Structure 1
Amino acid sequence: MELERITVALRPRTAREAVDLGAAMLRAHARTVWSAWFVFSLPVVALCIAAGWLLGLPWLATLLIWWLLPLFDRIPLYVLSRAVFERAPRWRETLRGQRQWRWGGTIASITWRRIDSHRALRLPMELLEGLAGKQRSERWRVLRRPIGTEASSLAFGCMELVLVIFLGAFLSVVLFIPAELMPDWIRGSVGGVARRTPEVTGALIAGVAYLAWSAIEPLHVAAGFALYLNRRTQLEAWDVDLAFRRLRDRWLAAGRGAAVLLLTLACAWPHGAWAQQAAAPVAKPAPAQKVAAAKPEDVPVTQIETAFAVPASTSDQRFATAATEAFRDPRFGGEHKDHTWKPRNWSWDPKPVKLGRSPFEGIGNGFAMGIKGLLVLLLIGLIVAVAVYLIRRARLPVLALRVRSEAALDMHLETIEAQERLPDDLAGATHRLWSSGHRREALALLYRGCVEQVAAVLQVAVEPDATEADCLRSARRLDDTQRRQRAEAIVRAWQYAAYADRYPRDEDFARLLDGWPARHGSAA
C-alpha cells in the first residue's frame, strides 16, 4: 500500500476534527462530486415524481427520494476515495465505476437498515474493504466502538440542516414578501392550491426536498468517510508507517550520495605505484562468475481496494509461526516443569452441587414477574405522560396565538359591521367617536366609509371577504391622485391601529377627515 501518495495529512484526530476534514475534502472536489451526483440522481428523482403524479399520491415522491438516499451516497464516496490517492474521477468514470462495487450493502441500506444512523460510517467499510459474513461483523464492531456516538450525532445534525433548508425555502416566500406585493398565484397557493392541485404541490415539495438533500447529503458522506479514515489511522498507525517510509527514503537518498562520493574518490586515487611492481608475480584470477542483471521490478500501481483492505489478522500462517517461535524463547516464557504436592484424589473440576427445589421458588418467581410487569406499566405511563405534556406545551403557544388572532379579527369585523348603514355626515360621526375616546371605533368607521366610497367611485360591489390588501389594490385603480393617496393613508392608519395598536395623532386624524371620502361632496 503506497501511503506516500495519499493527499490527506495522516495523524490521529478527534471526531470533530475528522468531520471538518471531510468538509475540506468536499470543498476541494465540490465540482466533481456534485456534477456526478446530479447526473446520477436526477433521472431517479424524475421517475419518483412521475410515479407520485401518476398514482395520485403526492407524498410518495418525497418518500421515495428519501428512501433512495443510500443509493445516491455511493457517488460522493467513489469520488472522494479516488481523490485521496489519485486525481478525482470525472462523472463518466464515476458512473462506470459503480459496476465494480458490491451492491449487497446498498440493498441492505435501503431495506432493513434504512434508518441506521451509522450509515455514513458503515458505507466505506462495506464498499472499500469488500468483506463479507462474520469477518465484516467483527470489523464493524471494531470500527464503531469509539465513534458510534459521533456518527449518530453527524446523521442527526445533517437531518436538522436539511429541515432548515427545506422550511426556509418556503417560509422565505411567505414571511419576507408583503401581502399586498405578493402575486395572486402565490397568495392562492398558500390558501388553497394544495387542495385544488395536490399533484403540483407534491411535485414542488419533492423538488425542494431533493435540493435540500443534494446540498447536505454529500457533506454527510464526506464526513463519514473522514471518520473512517481517522479510525483506520488509529487502528493501523498509518501516520507512524508513513513516517518510517519517509525516513527510509531519506536514508536511501543519503546512501546513494555516499556511494557516488566513494566511487569518485576511488577513481581519483593515483595509480603510479602499480607500475613499479611489474616484476612481481601476478596471480591468475579465478574465472569470473556470470551475474545476471537484475531486472528492475515495475512500480506497483495503487488500487483502491488494496489500499483500504483489512490488514492481516491473527489467523495468518506467518504471524502464527512467528508468535510460536517468540513464545518458545526463554526470555518470553518458554516451557518449564513444576513439581508440587497435591492430595491423591485432587481434581481441578469442582463437583456440581445439587440443590433441592425450594418450596418458595414459585412464590418468588411470581412476585418477581409481578414487580417486573408493574415496572413496565409505570414506564409506559411515564412515557405517555411525558408525550402528552410535550404535546400540550407545544400546542399552547399556537392555540394562544390563534385565539388572539381570532379575537382581533372578530373585533375588527364587529367594529366594521356595527352599523348597517353609514351616517350621512361621516366626518362628523367619526370626529365625535374620536373625541369621546373611542379611537378604534372611529378608525373602523372611517375605514368602512373609505371602502364603500372607493367601491362607489369604481362602480363595483363591496366584497364581504375583502381584506386591506384588496382595498389597497382597488384604491390604486382610482384616477384621482389625491383620492388614491388619501384612501391608502386611511387603510394604513386602520392597519396600524387594528394589528399594532398604534394610532395617529389628532392633527393627522383631522387631516384624514378633511376631504374625501369622509366628506362625500368634497372634491378632494
Structure 2
Amino acid sequence: MDLDSLAIDIRPRTPWEAIDLGFAMARHWFLPLWLIWLALALPLLLLVQWLFPDRPGLCAIALWWMKPLYEPPLLFWLSRALFGESLSPLQALRRWPGYGHRQLLANLSWRRLSPNRSFYMPVAVLEGLKRSERKERISVLGRAQHVPAWLTLGGWLFELLLQLSLLLLIWVMLPGELRPFDLQQLLVSPGQGVDWLRRVADLAVMSLFAPFYVAAGFALYLNRRTELEAWDLEIGFHRLLARLRPAAGGRAVGLLLACLLLLQPAFDPVQAAGFERAQVRREIDTVLAEETFGERRLEGYWHYRLQTAEGDGTGRWQRLLTLLQEYAALAAKVAEGMLWVGAGLLLGWLLYRYFSARRGAPGNRVATKGAPPPEERVLSGPAPGKASPGLGRRVRERLEAGDLRGGLGLLYRGALSRVALRHRLEIMDSTTEQECLALVAGVCPREEELFLQRLTGTWMQLAYDHVPPSAQRIEALCRDWERLFEGDST
C-alpha cells in the first residue's frame, strides 16, 4: 500500500470529522458511484417486479435487503480512486467477480442487520480476510467505536424522510384536478400506479444516499487504521526525507532571488478621485430615467381563495386529522416493535457477556488435555521454533555477523512466540505490531508487557524508520529475554 499516493490528507481525526471527509469524497466522485449502484440495483428491482407483480411490498423489501450486493463495487472504485487509479464504472463492474463474492452470503443473512456494515466492509472486500483473521481484525478496529452504528441509524432515518418528502413533493406539484389519488392512497394504500411511484421513490432515495454511506464508512475505516498504525507519521517522514534531498545550491539561488525582490522600488499609491454628492445623485437619476433601467410594470399572480362554506373546511381538516391519527398509530406500532427487538438484542448481549466472563474467569477455565499449542508463526520469516533456550546466543551471532535486522527480527518473533505459548494467545501472520501489543495488554505480567513494548518500539524504529538501535540497547533486550523466557520448559 503506497500511502504517499493517497488523494486525501491522512491525519488522526475524530469519527465525526471522518464522516465529513467521507461525505466530501462522495460529493467529489458522486456520478460514477451513483452509476455503479444504479447499474446493479435497477435490474434487480425490475426482475423482482416481473417475478412478483402482485407483491409490491416484496419488491421494496428485496431492494432494501440486497444493499450488501450493490455496495462493494462502490467501495472498490473508491479505494482505487484514492490511490490515483482511474477506473470507469464499467471496469469496476467487470472486476466484481474478483471481490464481490467475499462474505456476500454472510452479509445477506446473519450480518445483514449489522449497524457497522460500511465500517467493516473494507476488511472483507479490500483486505480479503476470512474467519478468524477477520474476527481478529474487526475486534481491534471496532473497539470503543460507536459512531458507525449512528451512521447507519441516521442514514436509515434520512432515507425514510427523503422518501416521504419526495412523495409529498410530487403530490403537491400536481394540480388538484389532475390528482388520480389522494394523499392517503399515495402513502399507504395499495394501487398499481402508486406502487410504481413508491418503488421509483425507493430507488431514487437509496441511490442518492448509497455513495455517502459507503464513503463515510470507508473514511471511518481509514481513520481507525491511521490511529492504530500511525499512517500520518509514516507519510510525514517520507515527505520530510523528500524535502531534505535537494542540493544546497537551490537554497542559495532562492536567497538571491529574495534579496533582488526586496531591492525593487516601491510604487506611490494612486489617489482616489472624489465625486461630489450632487454629481453622484445626478448620475443615478440619469440612469434611472432610461427605459431599460427605470421601467415600472404591474404583475399579477394566482392566489388560492379560501372556501367560504364552513362545512367544506371542517371536512378537510377532519380528513387531515384522521390521516395524522393513522400515521401516529402506525408509528407507535413500529416504535413498539423496535423497542421489543432492541430489548431482546440487549438481553442476548448481556447474557453473552455474562457467560463469556464466567468462562474467562480464573476459576472457571477448562483445561483441555492434549490441546495443541497455538502456532508460532507470528511474522513473515523463519520461526524461532519451540526449543529456543539459545535464542539470545543466536541473536548475538547475527549481530556479530552484521545482520542487525535479522537478529532483532529473530528476537522479536521469539518473544511473541513465547508469549503466545505461555498465555495461549492466537497471533496470526496478518497481526500488526500495535495489535500484538493490544492482545497482550492485561494478559501478560507487567514486566513481560513492558519488555514487549520496548522490544516492539526498537523493532519498529529499525524496520520502518531505518534508525538502528545501539549495541547496548540490543544487549539489554537479550539479557531481559534470557531472564524472562530462557527458564521455560519446552
With the length of structure 2 as denominator, give the TM-score of the two structures.
Answer: 0.52
**C-alpha distance in 2 between matches for 1:219 and 1:137:** 26
CA distance in 1, matches of 2:157, 2:183: 26
Report the counterpart of residue 122 of structure 2 in structure 1.
Answer: 124
1:169 aligns with 2:166: yes
1:40 aligned onto 2:40? yes
Please tell me whether residue 64 in structure 1 is matched to residue 28 in structure 2.
Answer: no
Unpaired segments of 5 or more residues in structure 2?
Answer: 252-376, 382-405, 416-454, 456-472, 485-490
| Corresponding residue to 1:202 among 184, 195, 199 | 195
Question: How many angstroms apart in 2 are the aligned matches of 1:173 and 1:92?
Answer: 33
Could you tell me which residue of structure 2 aligns to residue 249 of structure 1? 242
Q: Deviations over 1:390-431 (max 9, x none)?
A: xxxxxxxxxxxxxxxxxxxxxxxxxxxxxxxxxxxxxxxxxx
Classify 1:336/1:40 alpha carbon distance in 2 versus 1 (closer, same or farther; 3 Å).
closer
Is contact 1:32–1:89 with CA below 8 Å preserved after alignment? no
User: How far apart are the structure 2 equivalents of 1:187 and 1:70?
Assistant: 35
Select which of 180, 183, 205 maps to 2:177: 183
Pairing of 1:495-514 with structure 2 (within 5 A): none
Of residues 229, 237, 249, the one that matches 1:236 is 229
Q: Deviations over 1:475-511 (max 9, x none)?
A: xxxxxxxxxxxxxxxxxxxxxxxxxxxxxxxxxxxxx
CA contact 2:37–2:210 (8 Å) conserved in 1: no
Tell me the amino acid that sits aligned with residue 204 of structure 1. L
Letter in 2 for 1:21: L
**Does the C-alpha gap of structure 1 residues 336 and 28 become closer, same or farther in structure 2, counting only changes over 3 Å?**
closer
Q: Give the Cα separation in 1 of the matches to 2:7 and 2:187.
A: 52
8 Å Cα contact 1:23/1:222 also seen in 2: yes
1:97-112 matches, within 5 Å, as: 97-112=95-110
Show structure 1 runs of 4+ deviating over 4 A: 188-195, 255-258, 324-328
Which residue type is aligned with residue 44 of structure 1?
A: L
Name the CA distance, whole Å, in 2 between partners of 1:2 and 1:200: 52
Q: Cα distance, 1:150 vs. partner?
A: 0.3
| Pairs within 5 Å for 1:48-59 | 48-53=48-53, 56-59=54-57
Q: Shift in Å at residue 334 of structure 1?
A: 5.0
State the alpha-carbon separation in 2 of the partners of residues 172 and 193 from structure 1: 12
Q: Take 1:45 and 1:152, find their aligned partners in 2: how far apart are those partners?
A: 27
Q: What is the CA distance between 1:32 and its match in structure 2? A: 1.6
- 1:128 Cα deviation after fit: 0.4
Encode CA deviations 1:204-233: one digit per residue, 9 max, x unaligned: 222211111111122111100000010111
1:91 to 84, 89, 92: 89
CA change 1:321–1:20 in 2 (3 A) is same
Task: Flag the 1:335–1:94 CA change in 2: closer, same or farther, 3 A.
Answer: closer
State the shift of 1:49 in Å. 2.2
What's 1:27 paired with? Answer: 27
Alpha-carbon distance in 2 for matches of 1:107, 1:57: 24
The 1:37–1:88 alpha-carbon spacing in structure 2 relative to 1, beyond 3 Å, is: farther
Tell me, in whole angstroms, the C-alpha distance in 2 between the residues paired with 1:206 and 1:128: 32
Q: What is the alpha-carbon distance in structure 2 between the residues aligned to residue 42 and residue 9 of structure 1?
A: 35
Task: Return closer, same or farther for 1:240/1:328 CA change in 2, 3 Å cut-off.
Answer: closer
Q: Which residue of the partner structure matches residue 219 of structure 2?
A: 226
Q: Is the 8 A contact 2:36 2:89 kept in 1?
A: yes
Q: Which runs of 5+ in 1 are unaligned?
A: 259-312, 338-524
2:81 aligned partner, one-letter code: A
RMSD between aligned alpha carbons? 3.0
The answer to whether the 8 A contact 1:29-1:88 is kept is no
What SS does structure 2 have at the residue aligned with 1:89? Answer: coil
Take 2:108 and 2:100, find their aligned partners in 1: how far apart are those partners?
Answer: 14
- How far residue 36 of structure 1 moved from its aligned partner, in angstroms, is 2.1
Q: 1:15 corresponds to which residue?
A: 15
Tell me, what secondary structure is at the counterpart of 1:186? Answer: coil
Separation in 2 of the partners of 1:11 and 1:110? 33
- Mapped to 1, the partners of 2:50 and 2:144 lie a distance apart of 43
**Secondary structure at 2:109 match in 1:** coil
Residue by residue over 1:340-398, the C-alpha shift from the partner in whole angstroms, topping out at 9 and shown as x without a partner, is xxxxxxxxxxxxxxxxxxxxxxxxxxxxxxxxxxxxxxxxxxxxxxxxxxxxxxxxxxx
